[in-house]
């Protein structure tokens, strides 16, 4: 056993048992951050804050929500919204956060793509980030089932139908996922379990992995500088703070992060109090009815781009294209063959690739919301083809990129 001495303070007592000073150094005061990064690098902290808001508001909602097909709708729309003091507030915080979190995730992802933050040494940051994206998507979908409104029911029907695999007719798989022939009590109970237990646990584990993956390569920077963190941190500790290219995470960089988080919270609560409607689908204020299909069934805005990749093709091709769109981003560190970790603006054809991909996904999102008729379905088709072609072109254009 280690040698324990009589503690001189509570901190010393804890330090002897938990090495809190060492942990504090590794995670906070000697976790080095480059000086040359902008507010986009605060999006990670904004995501942490949004996840905390989701967790806390979810715990309050859980006190009154009933996972039963006969009472779920009323427990949300009547009990929580009208009877419970401030129940409406927790619901609006939860609903707005569930939507805004995807906006921030997309900004965070595209920042990473723009600056090449997924490249050599940072692959695990990217892969754990993409796993977080997939898990968040499953979390949002399972949560959408819980109010048991018309859109919950029919979106649940459409998305679980995808697992029948088109002409493969794997109906047993769909029934196995639903626990029934159609979405019913077994379906609601298992999506409730996923939403409140299994997926949040997975998200917390993945956030831990994402942070651990950041510790060794450190965060990238906006100029594509190859920073030697050992040399620069020694310079800082020796007193040359101005000459060093790095600063401490805590409290120095964290104070900047908190400034951005503060501005974000003003925007967030403006949405919660004055503009929460965008996060609620009016069709979902009707209780689920298996005999009445809504005129248009569409997912929430953050799934529209991948939904639009499914829609313009025949069933089998559509499913393959959809599957491709779901997984392809994970492969980015391996498909981008250029060794340059610099902003896209300084890279050859990749700079056009970046903007083309961003615009294409915005177009797909817009078309996904519109009914698939006339010019909209043509634009959707072209944008879906462009998405696939852009990914096929990526390894080719980056292989021939000049080394900077
Ligand atoms: C809720 C989910 C997430 C949380 C809480 C989170 C948190 C963070 C934090 C705190 C950082 C460091 C600071 C920063 O660059 O912002 C970071 C960096 C990073 N994250 Fe995430 N992240 C999440 C999701 C994602 C997703 C979906 C991706 C995309 C695949 C991703 C990719 C990255 C990358 C590439 C970096 C490194 C940035 C750099 O080196 O400059 N993250 N993340």
Q: Which domains are present in the chain?
A: 26-297 (1.20.810.10), 304-404 (no CATH)
The label of the residue with tokens 């634009």 reads 379
Q: Is the CB of 344 under 6 A from ligand 1?
A: no
**pLDDT reported for residue 52:** 98
Closest Cα to atom 22, ligand 1: which residue?
A: 44
With 90 as the cut, is the pLDDT of residue 296 above it?
no
pLDDT in tens, 297-355: 889 999 999 999 999 999 999 999 999 999 999 999 999 999 999 999 999 999 999 99
Q: Which two tokens stand for residue 95?
A: 């609903």
Q: Is the CB of 117 under 6 A from ligand 1?
A: yes
> How close is the Cα of 208 to the center of ligand 1, in Å?
11
> How close is the Cα of 184 to the center of ligand 1, in Å?
37
Q: Is the CB of 44 under 6 A from ligand 1?
A: yes
Closest Cα to atom 7, ligand 1: which residue?
A: 44
Q: Quote the CA–CA distance of 398 and 109 in Å, as a whole number.
A: 19
Ligand 1 pocket: which of 35, 42, 47 to mutate (most atoms <8 Å of CB)?
Answer: 47
pLDDT in tens, 252-290: 999 999 999 999 999 999 999 999 999 999 999 999 999
> How close is the Cα of 44 to the center of ligand 1, in Å?
5
Q: Is the CB of 122 under 6 A from ligand 1?
A: yes
Nearest to 387 by CA among 334, 299, 318, 316: 318
Report the run of H or E that residue 33 belongs to, with start and end. strand 32-34
Strand partners, 287: 149
CB atoms inside a 10 Å sphere around CB 341: 20
DSSP, res 303: G
Q: Quote the CA–CA distance of 128 and 293 in Å, as a whole number.
A: 38
Q: Angle 9-14-20 (CA atoms, 0-180°, nearest 5)?
A: 115
Strand partners, 32: 248
**pLDDT reported for residue 397:** 97
Residue 397 DSSP SS3: helix
> How close is the Cα of 108 to the center of ligand 1, in Å?
6
Q: How far is CA 123 from the centre of its chain?
A: 17
């Amino acid at each position: 056993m280690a040698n324990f001495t009589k503690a001189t303070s509570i901190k010393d007592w804890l330090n002897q048992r938990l090495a809190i000073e060492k942990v504090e150094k590794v995670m906070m005061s000697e976790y080095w951050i480059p000086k040359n990064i902008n507010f986009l690098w605060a999006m990670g902290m904004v995501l942490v804050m949004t996840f905390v808001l989701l967790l806390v508001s979810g715990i309050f909602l859980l006190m009154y929500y009933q996972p039963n097909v006969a009472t779920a709708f009323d427990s949300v729309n009547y009990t929580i919204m009208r009877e419970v003091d401030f129940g409406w507030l927790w619901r609006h915080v939860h609903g707005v956060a569930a939507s805004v979190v995807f906006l921030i995730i997309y900004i965070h992802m595209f920042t990473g793509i723009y600056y090449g933050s997924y490249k050599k040494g940072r692959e695990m940051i990217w892969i754990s980030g993409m796993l977080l994206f997939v898990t968040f998507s499953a979390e949002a979908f399972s949560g959408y089932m819980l109010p048991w409104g018309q859109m919950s029911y029919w979106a649940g029907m459409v998305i679980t139908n995808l697992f029948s695999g088109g002409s493969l007719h794997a109906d047993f798989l769909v029934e196995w996922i639903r626990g029934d022939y159609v979405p019913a009590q077994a379906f609601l109970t298992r999506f409730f379990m996923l939403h409140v237990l299994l997926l949040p646990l997975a998200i917390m584990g993945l956030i831990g992995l994402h942070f651990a993956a950041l510790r060794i390569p450190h965060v990238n920077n906006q100029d594509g500088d190859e920073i030697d963190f050992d040399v620069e941190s020694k310079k800082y500790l020796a007193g040359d703070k101005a000459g060093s290219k790095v600063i401490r995470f805590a409290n120095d960089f964290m104070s900047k992060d908190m400034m951005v988080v503060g501005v974000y919270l003003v925007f967030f609560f403006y949405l919660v109090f004055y503009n929460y409607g965008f996060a609620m689908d009016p069709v979902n204020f009707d209780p689920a009815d298996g005999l009445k299909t809504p005129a248009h069934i569409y997912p929430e805005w953050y799934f529209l781009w991948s939904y639009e990749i499914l829609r313009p093709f025949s069933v089998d091709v559509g499913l393959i294209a959809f599957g491709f769109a779901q997984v392809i981003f994970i492969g980015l560190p391996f498909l981008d063959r250029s060794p340059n970790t610099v902003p896209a603006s300084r890279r050859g054809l990749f700079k056009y690739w970046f903007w083309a991909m961003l615009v294409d996904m915005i177009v797909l999102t817009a078309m996904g919301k519109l009914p698939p008729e006339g010019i909209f379905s043509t634009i959707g088709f072209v944008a879906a083809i462009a998405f696939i072609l852009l990914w096929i072109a990526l390894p080719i254009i980056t292989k021939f990129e000049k080394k900077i």
